Amino acid sequence: MLLFICGGVVAVYLLLCVTVFKIPKCKSTAKLHGKTVIVTGANTGIGKATALDLARRGARVILACRNESKAQSAVAAIQRETGNKEVLYMHLDLASLQSVRSFAENFLKNESRLDILINNAGLLMGGKTKDGFGMIFGVNHLGHFLLTVLLLDRLKECGPSRVVTVSSLAHMWGKVDFNCINTHKDLGLGNSDFASLKLYSHSKLCNILFTHELAKRLKGTNVTCYSLHPGAIKTDINNNSSLLWRLVMTPAMLLFFTDVDSGAQTSLHCALQEGLDPLSGCYFSKCAVGKVPAKARDDATAKKLWEVSERLCGLA
């Protein structure tokens, strides 16, 4: 009897692994010689796997990261594995608007092209950015917002080009409370696991709304943009969370989460797949367009978020 139950559990688990948790491979065979790509947070996790694949396709790949030693070891690893020497590190700390500005300035001065921007970095940790914004909102949304805006002219010159922003399924539990942004420079306070998870969901909803509004503003240019859920992927994203959260997530990750190569596939699909232009502004999951709730495609909220973000970045 016990054997029977165990067998059933294993069978259901295996079935889940090949269905619900399985992510199809990006089918594009595009080569990227002569193209330049930026991947933020590319020293580890999904970003590193994405950068590795792009380097293998011959792109000049810029790892935009906050920690030099971690980034340089990723550069060395990717160069070794792909034989592509045009993989380099440039410093970017998304938790500082000044760092975002310096990065963009350096990049625009030193590099002649930008074909693909992948806004991948993200975290799930409380605290404040250098500018006093909540860390999760500041890094996951605001830093990437400013980065993209500062690089848009170069992307337009190099079209057809793309902006890919890594969101999450967690956007489903998110909301955008503009009153809260006005009073806290944030979407709430992350002083518990539960509060941080809420902020994370809010920031991931912002990623989708940002992409929705960006697509509208890019109409008539050769730049398109996409947001996505990478899947449930084994990475270091929980390493800085509380013990309780890690106790819950570590076994879940071991059992159900997939590897970083699978985690990179939907980012690669959005960056490379031909024929996606009519879908600019859409959200993807498992290398296909995904459904989003009405709050994630609300024109008025998306426009207002853009305007508030401009103001918070000192652009307006």
Ligand X SMILES: *[C@@H]1O[C@H](CO)[C@@H](O)[C@H](O)[C@H]1NC(C)=O
Residue numbers 229-288 binding ligand NAP by CB under 6 A: 229-230, 232-233, 235-237
CB closer to ligand X, 72 vs 273: 72
CB closer to ligand X, 7 vs 159: 159
In Å, how far from its chain's centre is CA 188?
21
In whole angstroms, the minimum distance from the beta carbon of 234 to ligand NAP comes to 7
Contact criterion met (CB below 8 Å) for 118 and 39: yes
Query: CA 117 → CA 30, 180, 249, 263, 289, distances in Å?
Result: 16, 30, 30, 17, 19
By CB under 6 A, tell whether 182 contacts ligand X: no
* Residue 174: partners with Cβ closer than 8 Å, 6 or more residues away: 198, 201, 202, 203, 204, 205, 206, 295
Tell me the backbone φ, ψ of residue 204, rounded to 5 degrees.
-75, -30
Residue numbers 204-233 binding ligand NAP by CB under 6 A: 229-230, 232-233
Q: Which structure tokens are listed for 310?
A: 């401009």
C-alpha–C-alpha distance, residues 92 and 109, integer Å? 15
Spatial CA neighbour of 255 closest among 16, 66, 7: 16
Query: Residues 70, 128, 216, 295: which binds ligand X (CB under 6 A)?
Result: 70
CB closer to ligand X, 66 vs 198: 66
Residue numbers 155-174 binding ligand NAP by CB under 6 A: 166, 168
Catalytic position from the list 89, 200, 226, 283: 200
Given ligand X, ligand NAP, none, residue 222, with its beta carbon under 5 to 8 Å by kind, binds ligand X
Residue numbers 218-247 binding ligand X by CB under 6 A: 221-222, 236, 239-240
In whole angstroms, the minimum distance from the beta carbon of 289 to ligand NAP comes to 17
Q: What letters, b where the CB count within 10 A reaches 16 and e where it falls short, cover 138-152? A: bbbbbbbbbbbbbbb
Contact criterion met (CB below 8 Å) for 51 and 74: yes
200 catalytic residue (yes or no): yes
Q: Does the CA dihedral 273-279-280-285 come out positive or negative? A: negative
Given ligand X, ligand NAP, none, residue 270, with its beta carbon under 5 to 8 Å by kind, binds none
- Chain residues that interact with ligand NAP, rule: CB under 6 A: 40-41, 43-47, 65-67, 70, 92-95, 120-123, 139, 166, 168, 229-230, 232-233, 235-237
- Chain residues that interact with ligand X, rule: CB under 6 A: 67, 69-70, 90, 106, 110, 159, 221-222, 236, 239-240
